[in-house]
């Protein structure tokens, strides 16, 4: 069974148009219920980091604590121009209180608790190439988890 999330009124950072209703599949609930969730809905979020990992989300740092407030980074596609963007889902006490489209910048990884593993490695790798241009061969093979670690920690260890 799959759950769905209906996100209202997201404005695209590229074309400026607002998508009135965006519906996407989600596996964020610990037990899927086959329901449609939206802002104000109570979710059956995992109780611990392992539960989020099993649901397809990467923690952004080793000390992430699943608490009353969570920020989860998702991918969002504009219904008008098709541009892929980032959307942070803000949860308080397992209730989705706000979805917000954010800029595609590496600093976002320091601002969220979990990242969907559906996120492409293309732009994080490109951003890392801007910082470490002489390490293209290594960066090309980095996983999303390794990219996140490099941005959040502010350092990267390269094999010799």
d(CA 68, CA 146): 27
Q: Residue 150 is encoded by which pair of tokens?
A: 């490099």
What are the tens digits of pLDDT across the range 77-98? Answer: 888 888 888 999 999 999 999 9
Q: Residue 87 is encoded by which pair of tokens?
A: 């959307």
d(CA 63, CA 82): 35
The pLDDT of residue 129 is 94
Which whole number is the average pLDDT over 139-143? 93
Which whole number is the average pLDDT over 116-136? 93
- Kind and range of the H or E run holding 154: none
Confidence label for 158 from pLDDT (cuts 50, 70 and 90): low
Beta bridge partners of 147: none
- The phi, psi pair for 39, rounded to 5°, reads -60, 130
Confidence label for 159 from pLDDT (cuts 50, 70 and 90): low
d(CA 36, CA 14): 28
Question: Is residue 131 within 8 Å of residue 41, measured between CB atoms?
Answer: no
Q: Would you list the domain boundaries of the chain?
A: 3-119, 120-154
């Amino acid at each position: 069974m799959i759950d769905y999330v209906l996100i209202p009124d997201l404005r695209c950072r590229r074309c400026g148009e607002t998508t009135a209703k965006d519906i996407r599949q989600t596996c964020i609930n610990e037990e899927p219920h086959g329901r449609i969730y939206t802002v104000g809905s109570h979710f059956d979020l995992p109780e611990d980091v392992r539960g989020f990992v099993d649901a397809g989300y990467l923690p952004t740092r080793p000390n992430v604590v699943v608490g009353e407030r969570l920020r989860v980074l998702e991918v969002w596609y504009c219904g008008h121009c098709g541009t892929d963007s980032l959307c942070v889902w803000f949860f308080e006490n397992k209730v989705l209180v706000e979805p917000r489209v954010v800029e595609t910048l590496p600093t976002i990884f320091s601002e969220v608790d979990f990242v969907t593993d559906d996120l492409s490695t293309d732009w994080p790798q490109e951003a890392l190439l801007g910082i470490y241009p002489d390490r293209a061969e290594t960066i090309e093979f980095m996983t999303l988890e390794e990219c996140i670690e490099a941005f959040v920690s502010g350092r990267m260890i390269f094999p010799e």
